[in-house]
Structure 1
Amino acid sequence: MDAAATPRATSAMAEEETAESPERFAIPAASSLHERRPRTLKHGDTFAVFDHSGDAIAGPGSPEGIYHKDTRHLSHFHLMLNGARPILLSSSLRDDNVALNCDLSNPDMSDGRGKKVLSNDLIHIRRVRFLWQGAMYERLTVGNYDRVAHSLSLELYFEADFADLFEVRGSKRERRGTVHEPVVAADSVRLSYDGLDGVHRATVIRFEPAPQSMAANRAQFLLDLEPRSSRTLIVRISCGDGSDGTSLRRELIRAYRNARRALRDSSSRAASILASNEVFNRSVQRCVADTYMLVTETPHGPYPYAGIPWYSTVFGRDALITALETLWLDPEIAGGVLRYLAAHQARTFDPVADAEPGKILHEVRQGEMAELGEVPFRHYYGSIDSTPLFVMTAGAYFERTGDDALIEALWPNIEAALGWIDRFGDRDGDGYVEYGRHTDEGLANQGWKDSHDSIFHADGTLAVGPIALAEVQAYVYGAWQAAAAMLRALGDEEGAAAYRTRAADLRDRFDRDFFDEELGTYVLALDGNKQACRVKSSNAGHVLLTGLALPERAALTARTLMEPASFSGWGIRTIAAGQPRYNPMSYHNGSIWPHENAIIAAGLARYGLRREASAVFEGLFAASTYVDLRRLPELFCGFSRRPAQGPTFYPVSCIPQAWAAAAPLFLIQSSLGLSLDAAAREIVFDQPYLPQFLDDVYLRNLTVAGARADIMLHRSGSKVLVDVRKREGDVRVIARV
């Protein structure tokens, strides 16, 4: 089919889904990530998942290992001392996420006749590891705290399965490539695999000093430790052939310095947040650190990868929402996202990839299965909302930065995205943007709730496409408003007026077709027969974000969203309790997603519904205090909040996840009514409020149009006082209380 083909010629293909059909690309919950509470590291296209001891234990359902470009380059890596696994003392990530630190000790050890030869907690093992440029470095220090000398055997076992990430997630393959015999040297081993895609993949493990014994899957060090002495070993695991034979110790020091500097340099662009609540400060510090760890430097600029372990790659929707959440803090992230997505915008029609001219990416994968077409996600365009979100983000970025040069450079891409909305997005010509697959590959549902059973009617039957989601129409409304603002700034008042007119018409039609008086909210969607999916869902909250809701409808929608059936106390559920298919343990039909709650809170704040937005903020902050490292996960279960108990975790939730990590940052902006206008050179606080757990918030290095300001906000009764502590350059700070 050529690029000129319209979606109406193929819209009947794969529209009807088999009821209750299993989701082909769902992640099976064979084990709980929360139960494992893995330790994660990431740099660029490489990420690693370990247990608390710093080991990676291969086995069914285990995501542990080192991954590079969607391939697991190390599936097994664990340490033994005298044939026994050491005892975990503690495990922690640095506050900036650069390194994982694990402290271990020896268990009680006996000889073959049962005689104790070493009491516990006399040998200390310190493991410090980090990622840099496709390699993991580890400094391993073994110390003897006994009063006598000990001869110890320390073994490191390793293995590489070179599994594609989708295999690790549970996909079965009929054929695989060739795993080669390990190449063993005195101080290294090379593991390699030739994929069916013609790509040679290698993992090189090198040790310094050389071990006393080296095998295909094990390195053994014999350590003679005098009392109060220690030995240090260096390990480098390269996803590729690695470096030459230079000193690993020097290489590790240089790489560690560069890794710290790179994170420090990128995060230094951001404004800093300091509050009167120290628990909140630590939570925000982790949010910022997680966001920048997930940001990957691309040729187009910084780009936040979606999440670890399953989504550490480019996603369009996730990155655009993360960009919007962090835009006030660091607009460079949004700039990098816009440039990357513009460079990869679809230019031809490809039904297998759901690509249509002007459409914005959903997902990019670099693994063997994607290259071979065993999964359709190599460059996949099956999301209905990425394209309007791209235009929305461009408009928000322009307002925030006044970056005329980038907007002018991107304008052909913005025009192509707007053209896609009209030509391909509106599949049946009814004025709404709908989705439907062109083939039976890819995702059946293409909104952010993309589970196979996430869009349904009041009797529980699955909706048949093409499907017009409520929130997608809100994003289209936001895109047209953004296009109008940009066109006006570029001097095209006639074009701007046309988009404003279209937006106003959409607002009237949407209110007529989507608002349900009996439900007290917007319906979930319209199906292919224009029948409303009369379900109380969180999707309605997105309608508030862009201003599509009429003011009187916003208040009613907020009331419905904050009812106990929807608001659990921790956040707003994706589907209200009592609705068909409601299940608080499901992925999309009753769970709570931090990023979505931040979006809804921003919409509530837009309509002046401060009390409701504050309740969402408080619920998510309270939830974060129960999570390891105070990280908000991708999602958690929708069970109601109970006194003195934390939230219930979802078993395969990614953590960290970019749009979840950035959610508290967006909540701060919404709470303070903060906007930054480059053209007017203004920092505006519109009816700021602070939730009860915050008395003061200090924002440092807020930048706009080359100027900057440090601002203190203090809660005094029901008011928030705004105090400018420092100002550099021509910028006004306006408080509308």
Structure 2
Amino acid sequence: MMATKRAARMTSAPSEALSESPFYIPMTGPSARPRRTLKHDDTFVVLDSHGDIGASAGGPDGLFNSDTRYLARLELHLNDMQPLLLGSNLRNDNSGLTVDLTNPDIYDGDRIVFHKDTIHIVRTTFLWRGTAYQRIGLQNHGEQTASIALSLRFDNDFADLFEVRGERRERRGTGASELADPATVVLSYTGVDDIVRTSRLHFAPRPTRLTVNSAVYQIDLPPQQTTEIFLTVSCNKPETERPVAFYRGLLAHHREMRRAWSHTTSIETSNDVFNEVLCQSMADLNILMTQTPQGRYPYAGIPWYSTTFGRDGLITALQMLWIDPGIARGVLRRLAAFQAKTVDPLADAEPGKILHEMRGGEMAALREVPFERYYGSVDSTPLFVLLAGLYVERTGDESILKELWPAIEAALGWIDGPGDPDGDGFVEYRRASEQGLANQGWKDSFDAIFHADGTLAEGNIALAEVQGYVFAAKRAAARCARALGLTDRAGELDRAAERLARRFEETFWLPDLGTYALALDGEKRPCQVRTSNAGQLLFTGMVREDRARLVAADLMRPAFFTGWGIRTVALGEARYNPMSYHNGSIWPHDNALIALGLGRYGLKHSVEQVFKGLFDAASYMDLRRLPELFCGFRREPRRGPTLYPVACLPQAWASATPFTLLEAALGLEFDPARSEIRLRNPRLPAFLNEMILRRLHLGESTVDLRLRRHDEDVSVEVLRTQGHVQVSMVLSR
């Protein structure tokens, strides 16, 4: 039954845009309350420490689904007053948020009529299948019946995620609110794209009074008694599809979370703090995993990047390849399904290119932003080929190789064709429209690619690390071609990789700096800047060993290594700023790839330094969670690292970093053809005396290993095997 209805033209709040960077994420003020995030598939929510949405300034609060906000406000009050916070905790697996509150002193004039700390309020929130569930439990610990008015105030703007980030729009659709029945409110929005989006709020039991923006319960609660209120908020669910009951949904959600990682290698160590880091990282990766038609995919991060990103998904899958190769399978299949087939300048699309990102909101559908399916990433395509090759080598799964080979060849075709517009042998980028990203490597800030005097690089830009990705991709593709019996094609790819490596050394090496240029600009002038990009070249294995050691030594000096990790740009360079996004900050995933490269060249002592720095940083972080990035200030005694204010938490490749550091330290290699797992020059950092790996997979076989540190040496004990698998240690000095 419909009691009231209102409709309004919805307008977006104004915000200042930066002309240099149209998709900049503004930071308008400090967060008044800490934020917590939950996610399930394409739905995520940002709440504050009280379990409210939109009750305090400074956070991108809301319930979001497919890049649209479905609830912008949800505030709980007792007798028109905010409750007092007792505590707020995420479950260890990130599946739910529990908040403990109590009542403040309540006055009638100058007289206290209701003492604080009498009513215990527990708010429990979780997400499941496009619906947010919240239980509000109350218990009276007083000696008299408590007569209280509990109200929930709510509203929504159906803002596109890019509006929440600060983008302004010339026009918006029309919103409406209605009472569907005495326990249900429907908020709706008819967009400019003619799509109707709805939020259905259902209360149980029926409120004493319900309007289109509030629900009020008049409660008389006897001493020591409890009562419960349940709220569900469903995103775009038909009226006939009612959410399951709270406890049933909670149980199903927990079972689903446990099943998702039941097959994954588990790790326990002698260091309790590092165990907490690993558990948090795995829990974060678990909620970022999204079930897609092509398989599980790690969405990049919350709140701004909770969608399919090509580069982020590929690198995260690569980082986790040793522990769960199934992630790579889902990533490869999904990106192959959305590989570009045509030329579209607005989307920076060309045949064979691999996706940068995809969005499901109104602004993307109307092409107010170019990201519905956007291909402005110069490195996603070679990383796709590289991951495909590494996945096959890790698993021996040639059926996937045959399935993906047409997409691999199309990607290689782009690398050698449109990806190299001037035919000089280097892959380059330049956005095809002013709406696209100016810089299209992983450092995609407008000012991230620059010359020694600070002037920005212009024209077709060839990034150093991208050439390394192309080298490694062609090597991996050559091995795949041989596995398919394509001997001639394999030879072509190997020769192309060799030519690239020779030309790269001739063109990018900077003898005066002892490192490789950040990039070449459109006039083929090298950007003579010392950056971490050179460190990622070690991961690809393209560079000469003598020069790799010079690069590594430079990265471990104080201009780069802060004690917490390696900066993106060295101290002293023109645009160095430890508080910037890409020009002097510390990115955990960047350090992880550099660590793999250091291990590849046998520099295990440097691996240990990077490992320890990032572990120490994580030990200071809230929840022991490595963020997307943090500031690049030098480490000071008795002080933790400095946070970056709008870093995503969690972020997939940051969450995967501790596992990558373990891989680099242990020198893990997998050989399915020989049923062999090798540890090449394994080394454990000083803070780990012992480690147990359980269910380490190789094909259908698994093994449990115990590793112990003996100064700079490591012993390995096989605890259990299932199937046929051999474990060996390779030592070389």
TM-score w.r.t. length of structure 1 = 0.95
Corresponding letter in the other structure for 1:205: L
Structure 1 residue 695: Cα displacement:
0.6
Confirm or deny: 8 A CA contact 1:138 1:235 kept in the other structure: yes
Corresponding letter in the other structure for 1:164: D
Picking from 685, 692, 696, the partner of 2:686 is: 692
SS in 1 for 2:439: coil
Where does residue 481 of structure 1 map in the other structure? 475
Corresponding letter in the other structure for 1:141: G
Structure 1 residue 245: Cα displacement:
8.5
Picking from 401, 420, 445, the partner of 1:451 is: 445
Cα distance in 2 for partners of 1:711, 1:500 equals 36
Cα distance in 2 for partners of 1:36, 1:442 equals 35
Confirm or deny: 8 A CA contact 2:96 2:125 kept in the other structure: yes
Structure 1 residue 242: Cα displacement:
5.4
1:430-445 map, 5 Å: 430-445=424-439
- CA deviation map 1:482-539 (0-9, x unaligned): 0011011111222212211111121111111111111111110011111000000010
Q: Which runs of 5+ in 1 are unaligned?
A: 1-19
Picking from 482, 485, 489, the partner of 1:491 is: 485
Confirm or deny: 8 A CA contact 2:177 2:185 kept in the other structure: no
Confirm or deny: 8 A CA contact 1:37 1:628 kept in the other structure: no
- CA deviation map 1:68-100 (0-9, x unaligned): 110000000010011111111111111111111
Structure 1 residue 469: Cα displacement:
0.3
1:190 matched to 2:186? The reply is yes
Where does residue 17 of structure 1 map in the other structure? none
Confirm or deny: 8 A CA contact 1:585 1:650 kept in the other structure: yes
- CA deviation map 1:90-118 (0-9, x unaligned): 1111111111111111111111x121012
1:97-112 map, 5 Å: 97-111=94-108
Cα distance in 1 for partners of 2:237, 2:383 equals 40
Task: Answer with 489-498 or 358-367: which moved more.
Answer: 489-498
Distance 1:613 1:22, change over 3 A: same
Where does residue 173 of structure 2 map in the other structure? 177
Cα distance in 1 for partners of 2:619, 2:51 equals 24
Structure 1 residue 269: Cα displacement:
2.1
Cα distance in 2 for partners of 1:155, 1:626 equals 38
SS in 1 for 2:623: helix
Confirm or deny: 8 A CA contact 1:31 1:651 kept in the other structure: no
Structure 1 residue 139: Cα displacement:
1.3
Distance 1:181 1:129, change over 3 A: closer
Cα distance in 2 for partners of 1:242, 1:437 equals 41
1:154-303 map, 5 Å: 154-241=150-237, 244=240, 251-303=245-297
Corresponding letter in the other structure for 1:186: P
Corresponding letter in the other structure for 1:25: F
Task: Answer with 260-269 or 550-559: which moved more.
Answer: 260-269
Structure 1 residue 323: Cα displacement:
0.2
Corresponding letter in the other structure for 2:385: V
Cα distance in 2 for partners of 1:733, 1:601 equals 23
Cα distance in 1 for partners of 2:609, 2:220 equals 60
SS in 2 for 1:425: coil
Corresponding letter in the other structure for 1:686: R
SS in 1 for 2:479: helix
- CA deviation map 1:171-211 (0-9, x unaligned): 00110000113335311111000000111000010011001
Where does residue 9 of structure 2 map in the other structure? none
Picking from 26, 29, 33, the partner of 2:27 is: 29
Distance 1:36 1:618, change over 3 A: farther
Structure 1 residue 400: Cα displacement:
0.8
Confirm or deny: 8 A CA contact 1:316 1:360 kept in the other structure: yes
Picking from 326, 329, 339, the partner of 1:332 is: 326
Distance 1:36 1:317, change over 3 A: farther
Structure 1 residue 30: Cα displacement:
1.3
Where does residue 708 of structure 2 map in the other structure? 714
SS in 1 for 2:393: helix
Where does residue 3 of structure 2 map in the other structure? none
Confirm or deny: 8 A CA contact 1:58 1:75 kept in the other structure: no
Cα distance in 2 for partners of 1:295, 1:675 equals 25
Cα distance in 1 for partners of 2:33, 2:304 equals 15
Where does residue 568 of structure 1 map in the other structure? 562
Cα distance in 2 for partners of 1:594, 1:672 equals 18
Cα distance in 2 for partners of 1:490, 1:619 equals 43
Corresponding letter in the other structure for 1:227: P
Structure 1 residue 149: Cα displacement:
1.3
Where does residue 143 of structure 2 map in the other structure? 147
Corresponding letter in the other structure for 1:365: R
Confirm or deny: 8 A CA contact 2:161 2:361 kept in the other structure: yes
Confirm or deny: 8 A CA contact 1:185 1:214 kept in the other structure: no
Corresponding letter in the other structure for 1:135: T
Cα distance in 2 for partners of 1:222, 1:44 equals 36
Cα distance in 2 for partners of 1:240, 1:230 equals 33
Corresponding letter in the other structure for 1:24: P
Distance 1:238 1:499, change over 3 A: same
1:584 matched to 2:570? The reply is no
Structure 1 residue 253: Cα displacement:
2.1
Structure 1 residue 252: Cα displacement:
1.7
Picking from 370, 373, 386, the partner of 1:376 is: 370
Aligned length: 714
Where does residue 316 of structure 1 map in the other structure? 310
Corresponding letter in the other structure for 1:392: L
Structure 1 residue 167: Cα displacement:
0.3
Confirm or deny: 8 A CA contact 1:184 1:215 kept in the other structure: no
Confirm or deny: 8 A CA contact 1:632 1:660 kept in the other structure: yes
Structure 1 residue 22: Cα displacement:
2.2
1:668-687 map, 5 Å: 668-687=662-681
SS in 2 for 1:96: coil
1:341 matched to 2:335? The reply is yes
Where does residue 635 of structure 1 map in the other structure? 629
Confirm or deny: 8 A CA contact 2:209 2:215 kept in the other structure: yes
Where does residue 49 of structure 2 map in the other structure? 52
Where does residue 15 of structure 1 map in the other structure? none
Where does residue 9 of structure 1 map in the other structure? none
1:658 matched to 2:652? The reply is yes
Distance 1:350 1:52, change over 3 A: same
Structure 1 residue 471: Cα displacement:
0.3
Cα distance in 2 for partners of 1:74, 1:527 equals 45
Structure 1 residue 58: Cα displacement:
5.9
Q: Which runs of 5+ in 2 are unaligned?
A: 1-17
TM-score w.r.t. length of structure 2 = 0.96
Cα distance in 2 for partners of 1:59, 1:104 equals 16
Confirm or deny: 8 A CA contact 1:334 1:397 kept in the other structure: yes
Higher relative contact order (CA 8 A, sep 6+): 1
1:81 matched to 2:78? The reply is yes
Confirm or deny: 8 A CA contact 2:672 2:698 kept in the other structure: yes
SS in 1 for 2:149: strand
Confirm or deny: 8 A CA contact 2:30 2:57 kept in the other structure: no
Confirm or deny: 8 A CA contact 2:705 2:718 kept in the other structure: yes
Cα distance in 2 for partners of 1:529, 1:419 equals 24
Confirm or deny: 8 A CA contact 2:35 2:59 kept in the other structure: no
Structure 1 residue 233: Cα displacement:
1.0
1:131 matched to 2:127? The reply is yes
Where does residue 14 of structure 2 map in the other structure? none
Confirm or deny: 8 A CA contact 1:32 1:652 kept in the other structure: no
Cα distance in 1 for partners of 2:478, 2:459 equals 30
Cα distance in 1 for partners of 2:233, 2:47 equals 14
Corresponding letter in the other structure for 2:697: T
CA RMSD of aligned residues (A): 1.3
SS in 2 for 1:544: helix
1:357-368 map, 5 Å: 357-368=351-362
Structure 1 residue 244: Cα displacement:
4.5
1:466 matched to 2:460? The reply is yes
Where does residue 115 of structure 1 map in the other structure? 111
Cα distance in 2 for partners of 1:232, 1:43 equals 24
